[in-house]
A and B are shown apart, each in its own frame.
Chain A
Amino acid sequence: MKKLLGILVAVVMLLTMIPFALAQDVTIDYWFWADNDGYAATMQEMIADFNATNGKGITVVGSQVPWDGGGYSNTVFTAAMGGGGPDVATWKLTATPAFVANDLLAPLDGYLENWADYEQIEESLWEVMRQVGGGEKVYVMPWNTQVLYVYYRPSMFEAAGIGVPETYEEFLDACAKLTKDGVYGFGMRGATGGQEPWGSFIHARGGTFEDLTTPQAVQGMNDFIDLFKNGFTPPTAPSDGFSQIIDNFKSGLTAMTVHHIGSSAGMVETFGEDVGAFVFPAGEGQWTSMGDTENVMFASCENKEAAFEWLAYLAAGKGQETWCKVTGNVPVAARVKEMEEFQNNPFMKVSIAGAPYAGILPILDTTTEWISGVWPATVQQALLGDITAEECMEILQTELHK
């Protein structure tokens, strides 16, 4: 009897060990960019946390890849086309069409159907993800967003005797009144990336991206040119990129500039309480750009279920909370958005207030080239007076919708 009992105990022990034996350890290669070494360290901590807590034998190995002014997407593309690359990578929506056209991304629909946290993310955002993937499948997992708004210096507004602009006309008027004593009213971005704040001017006059040649869109372009011509922006505006507009604002050279919450930590570090934000005001229309950062899974990934676990951790799990708290980006998961820390952040409040008007450029085959080459080259010519606003908008329209 004792012998039989011994055998029985041994069999039970063996049976309990089977699931552990079957659960094979898998490794997921993850590529990401980080805006500074602090964020890179945070990402490695999140990876360590996921590896320690997922309980499924999944080990994520994170590699930081330089953002390289957007060259990040090309690096990932080259690696993927060469048959290598990561299993999962941090992402920008604009890169999606080229990767989908080459069958490099894995569709996520099968995993999303059974994902308990699917409804944590707004349906409108899923719709955007579907659109960039061609309209039918979701290839891109939302992670965080950044809604562009206007940073301003309350002390400069006070000195100029004006309040926060509530209409587009008041905003243009503020640009003029704030220009004095070596300070420029508006930090304009004329180099790559400038199409985002520029889009607000076009829409404020009632224009749209669908037809950039309408009188309303041309009027918006004229406003943009006039700010530069009248000296309300730094003379370097046509070639100013992200670094220049932020550095100019931080050094007190400009009184207002357009960017998103990702810069807020640095602004507060520089100015303390002497920095505020407001939504780009409405004219005949209102629009602001939604910046985005997502994650994707590659078609070549051999352990897709494990990769999805990591995607889910970032989109609605602990990763979502940690990353957005550290970077100040706007979370996509409702549970995290509702957290007190996010509700009490003034920059987050402005981001959320601007969200209803936030949108993206049409994602077409031409968009990437239009953003990186056509827009800066054409708008620079218009700012410098080489072409008229009408000619500029004609070129932009033709090149975007060709």
Chain B
Amino acid sequence: MKKYDYIVVGAGCAGLSAALELAVSKRKVLLIEQHNIPGGCATGFVRGRFEFDPSLHELCGVGSAENPGGTRQIFNRYGVDIEWVEASDCFRVISKYSDGTDMDVTMPSGIDAFIDKMEFYVPGSRPAMLRFFELMQNIEDGLAYLSSDEINPADIIKQFMPMVRSGGYCTNDILNALGLPEKAKDILSVYWSYLGVDMDNLSFLHYASMVNSYVKFSAYFPKHTSHDISVRMVERLRELGGEIMMGCRADEFLFKGDKCYAVKTNLGTFEAEYGILANINPDIVYGKMIPKNLVPEREKKLCAARKRKLGARMFTAYFGLNKSIEELGIKDYSIFLPQSSDSVAEYNSLRRISTNNYSIFLCYNVHNHGFSPEGTCVCSFTTMFTSGTDFDNLKEEDYYRLKTAMAKKFINSLKEKAGIDISDAIEEITVASPYTFARYLNSPEGAVYGYETREWDGIIARTIEMTMGLDYKVKGLYPVGTNGVRGDGYSSAYADGQIIAQKAMADFEKEGK
């Protein structure tokens, strides 16, 4: 039997990133994946003459080649070359302001342009918006400083007090403290759904990191679906000497004493000299993949404290249309279609099927003309469920009817709100539900966001925990993914994979000394 330095179980975004970080650091890596394609959510599928991206809307922190953001820097470090397309507008949102008047705004990327456009829609917002971005810059610099090698408390006090002062609060608290006009707050609340937590409960640092990155670095997406990202990562791993096994499902982790040394799969048992990184929800790892007596007390408590409160479960309808964007009158890449700009009410309405009237419309051809054959285009609608209740006891025949009913609701809402009617142009349609995501990801409830990053379980709290070394889990076994320090989202998962891989290597080196 071959022996590897490290084994990564699960080729989701975090698993792929972890494997590459280990491989560029010259470790001998085996990456195993239960599915026959890599990427988890970052994948693609074909129907008829169309190719679809099941989940990625826009990737955070890519930036241009000249001015790379954090995500692009990770890919650069790994030597992974992706053809990116820039989505030059941040978003269009058609909804209602909190005073009940109609909202239809399109926000550009670039800080100056964003502030100018906000001033156009909400006259008088400029001073507060300037402070908003100034604060976000302070946070960006502060977080970078905190992850540097030498941290001096005096420097923090001198330079990063705005970050510290805002750091404990949720997003709405800070938007209020900045004195932003109501309408500006309404517009800024659009992004809440990307993180799946309403603005009353969403950590401001988390929100700020994402918004700052989108506005500053613009949003990008891969030219050939996110399957392209995942496959290029796999191929790069191959080049670096890593091994990959697809259709390889981990059943359990094996231990010598209290140290994890191997993983048992349908294709045999594989041993790792130094550590195993599991791109699997920790509750599944601790609940059924390791001996009960080795589950740390703290992990049991953490799991209990989370009360199985998972983040968003996606529900997406994908359409291959036999008309071009010009024929259909589609001009925007991404249109948010919430009922209101009250994120708390929206969050609550997404608990149940009957009250869920949310969707984000996306048309892949808008910035990427060759995405589908001439004279056609591809679009999708996504909503999410903030509770799994309605999917716990759905009758089979009702499930298929629900898919059609939801797709109809999406189509009608686009028609009513944006005046775009796709109903006669549908050549292909596929609908993915929490069951579909559960099928392909095996994540709890098919949730793509891991546990909700709210209150005490936000990303800042998780990061501090790791910095303090309190997150020590099982010897030789490291969970990576959306339940990690960076929370959910593609860019967070890539970052988490890298952080944990580095930690795994550092742990070994410490032990080695």
B and A form one assembly: no
Q: Which residues of A contact B (CB under 8 A)?
A: none
